[in-house]
Chains A and B, each alone.
Chain A
Amino acid sequence: MSRSVRLLIVDDEQHVRTSLACWFREEGYEVEVAASGKEALAALARGGAQILLVDIKMPGMDGLELQRRARELAPDCTIIIMTAYASVETAVQALKEGAYDYIVKPFDPEQVSRLVAKAAERYTLLAENRALKERLAAAEPRLVTAGSPAMAAVLALVDQVAPTETSVLITGESGTGKELVARLIHSRSARRFGPFVAVNCGALAEGVLESELFGHEKGAFTGAVGRRHGKLELAHEGTLFLDEIGDVSPKLQVDLLRVLQERTITRVGGAATIPVEFRLVAATHRDLEAEVTAGRFRQDFFYRVNVFRIAIPPLRERPEDVPLLAAHFLERFATQMSRRIEGFEEEAMATLVAYPWPGNVRELQNVIERAVVLCREARIGVAHLPFTAAPPRDLSLEAVEEAHIRRVLAMSGFNVAQAARQLEVDRVTLYNKIKKYNIQRP
């Protein structure tokens, strides 16, 4: 029963610390000893001990003083005070200053064993809690929104809906980050410790998708050599993300509707009903209302799926996000490829901001990755980009003016005075234009 917790026994009496060390080693603890507060602090500075058993009366630095200084060195350590006198004042003082507990010498073996085991358990739980939080923070997808009002609104909706059990429909063009938003909803929900199971319904043929979702029994069809659990089962107590739900066939729509109503499934070729409990998050790039009108998408299934909708705007509608997204991807790829690239040439950034991004954030990510591969200079220039500045789609004077003002504001970090100088207009004119085109500060 070896334990991963290390004890530090601090007592000025040699026979006390060696006998206790011997006794606790039998218990399976790693044990260090220190004859004084100074030695104990040196041992703590070397790192390692998580539980300190400290004698309160020691020449020089006493137990209370050691406790204060140990807290500065190792704030997470658990301190148990040992005293030869059942002095209430000393005990209360020690507890007030953050001691875990105190024991009176000589200890009853059962009492001290339980106390240290409890302290070790507390330390292990705290360490596990910290590790889990770190893992969770690392696992939470990073949505680089660059703070545009449109994406801030998306995030606000995510925060509102994530803690609930409501089904969510995420709409948006390809490459806008629908799966990232789905993962964010999962990671901020009570189901975050459960599985997140993603299925791309658009990528699979109907028969394959059915088997993928529902699983199959051995011999259900040619090639079904063994039982297979479907994604609906795997998502039990977690989140099921059905991407491109608009591409699901009418037959599978009926099957999925039944699952959502009855919360049970039957594997392909099987007879037993299996209970499933998951939260549905679906996504599509299609206009589902139009699909319903055209008869390609069942209305009852649509109402089941479309409970809470989050629409992700395409990147071209939020050019102010481009500089920060580009900087984020540049940092990521430069680190991956060990390149020292400081940023973008002004002209290159202007080109990126002006580009309409039909492939959205995914395309921007690919463009920056390519540029980092090609770039041998300190900054990414136009030559490293796969395109030159494209003309805007809407060629009306107002649309071109709005796009140009947005671009210059994005480049200046929404510094109106600087943008006005670059546009060669006065600030009042620029403020009027900002108001006219409803351009909001990120």
Chain B
Amino acid sequence: MRVKLLLAGEAPPGLGASLLAALPAPFAGGAEELLAVDIRTCTDRRRRQVDAACLLAVVPEPPEGWAHLCIVGSDLCLPAVTHVFGLAELGSRRGVVSWARLREEDEPWTLGPVTRRRLLVEAVHELGHALGLPHCAVPDCAMHRSLWIESIDLKLPAYCPSCLAALATKAAASSARLTACEATHTMSGGGNAT
């Protein structure tokens, strides 16, 4: 699975590249680009936050074999929830994650190593959801639920063996569907040729 990081708004230099380089298995390679959307359209001015569900809706659908993760520095919320670190629709291969609440106090704009690690963990977490994984009970698995930032520090930026196995099963099923789809196209194409 390859990942495209979509940077919404301004981001510290080199953040996307360092995140892509640190992504664990099963992610390999990837790319980054700016998301051509004005996040102000998803901003709740009264709450001074960005609606994560609205932002997720504008993340473009990825091609087969890719996942799209939007990274943003604004504070994310949901209409009925005060804040979220990120959001992804299960199995949609699309997610959003924010570093706004992951920062240490008085941290420079460039983001220190602690915040960068937290962002990596949460990026892996949202990508897991985007590939269909729910929360995991293993405390140091990236898919373990985090409701406050200290609990993010207890997790690893990687999946536990059972989550990896679940991802492999989902990837095999997806590959089988793709093969069947290609076979159908080939057969119908052959029919037209004759």
Contact between A27 and B80, CB atoms less than 8 A apart: no
B134 touches A20 (CB 8 A): no
Cβ-closest chain A residue relative to B78: A19
Interface contact A106-B56, CB-CB below 8 Å: no
The interface residues of chain B lying within 8 Å CB-to-CB of A61 are none
Q: B133-147: which have CB < 8 Å to A?
A: 134-137, 145, 147
- B82 interfacial by beta-carbon distance below 8 Å: yes
Given contacts A15-B51, A110-B148, contact A27 B134 (CB under 8 A): yes
The reply to whether B81 and A26 contact each other, CB–CB distance below 8 Å, is no
Q: Does B93 contact A (CB under 8 A)?
A: no
Question: Which of the residues A16, A22, A108 comes within 8 Å of B56, measured between beta carbons?
Answer: A22
Q: In whole angstroms, how far apart are the Cα atoms of A22 and B126 in the complex?
A: 12
Within 8 A of A (CB), among B82-124: 82-84, 87-90
Expressed in whole angstroms, the minimum distance between the Cβ of B145 and any Cβ of chain A is 7
Tell whether, in the assembled complex, residue B134 and residue A26 are in contact, meaning their CB atoms are under 8 Å apart: yes
Q: Which of B51, B77, B79, B129 contacts A26 (CB 8 A)?
A: B129
The answer for the CA separation of A19 and B55 in the assembled complex, in Å, is: 11
Q: Report A110 CB to chain B, min CB distance, Å.
A: 4
Judged by a CB distance under 8 angstroms, whether A107 is at the interface is: yes
User: Is A426 close to B, CB under 8 A?
Assistant: no
Any A CB within 8 A of the CB of B158: no
Cα(A11)–Cα(B79), bound, Å: 12
- How far is it, in angstroms, between the C-alpha of A106 and the C-alpha of B88 when the chains are bound? 19
B54 adjacent to chain A (CB < 8 Å): yes
Residue from the list B53, B82, B129 in contact with A18, Cβ < 8 A: B53
Residue-wise, chain A 297-328 has the 8 Å CB interface mask toward B (1 for contact) of: 00000000000000000000000000000000
Does A411 sit at the interface, judged by CB under 8 A?
no
B54 touches A106 (CB 8 A): no
CB closest chain-A residue, reference B144: A1
Interface centre among B52, B82, B90 (most CB of A within 10 A): B82
Chain A 9-36 interface mask (CB, 8 Å, partner B; 1/0) = 0010101101110110111100000000
Smallest Cβ-Cβ distance to A117: which chain B residue:
B145
Which B residues are in CB contact (< 8 Å) with A27? 134-135, 145
Tell me whether A109 is interfacial, beta carbon within 8 Å: yes
Q: A433 near B: Cβ within 8 Å?
A: no
How distant is the Cα of A112 from the Cα of B78 in the complex, in angstroms?
13
Interface residues of A in 264-296 (CB under 8 A from B): none
**A105 contacts B by Cβ under 8 Å:** yes
> Which chain A residues lie closer than 8 Å to B56 at the CB level?
22
In the complex, are the beta carbons of A112 and B88 less than 8 A apart? no
A338 at interface (Cβ–Cβ under 8 A)? no
Chain A residues in the interface with B (C-beta under 8 A): 1-2, 11, 13, 15-16, 18-20, 22-23, 25-28, 82, 105-110, 112-113
Q: List 20 A-B contacts (CB under 8 A).
A: A15-B53, A19-B51, A19-B52, A19-B53, A19-B78, A19-B79, A22-B56, A22-B90, A25-B89, A25-B90, A26-B88, A26-B135, A82-B80, A105-B80, A106-B77, A106-B82, A107-B81, A110-B148, A113-B145, A113-B147
